[in-house]
Structure 1
Amino acid sequence: MIGRPAPVVLPPSLRVGLGLTAAFAALLVAVLGIRYADEGGPGTVDARIRAVVDGAGPSWRYVALAVDASGEPAGAATLVVAAVTGCLLLRRPRAAVFVVAGVGIAVGTTTLLKHLVGRTIHGGHLSYPSGHTAFATALALAVAMLATRHRGRDGLGSGTTAGTLLVLAAGLVAGAAMGWAQVALGAHYPTDVLGGWCTALAVVPATAWLVDRMADVGRREHRRRHAG
Structure 2
Amino acid sequence: MVFFAITLFFRFVPIPFSAYIAQQKISHLLQFDFDYDVHYNWVSLDKISPNMQLAVIASEDQTFPSHWGFDWNAIAKAFEHNEKSKRIRGGSTISQQTAKNLYLWHGQSWIRKGLEVPVTLSLELLWSKKRILEVYLNIAEFGNGIFGVEAASRFYFKKSAKNLTPSEAALLAAVLPNPIIYKVNAPSNLVKRKQAWIMRQMNGLGKAYLKHL
| Pairwise same-fold verdict (TM > 0.5) | no
Q: Which has the higher helix share?
A: 1
Q: Choose 1 or 2 for highest CA Rg.
A: 1
- TM-score of the two chains, using structure 2 as the length reference: 0.30
- TM-score of the two chains, using structure 1 as the length reference: 0.29
**Larger RCO of the pair (alpha carbons < 8 Å, separation 6+):** 1
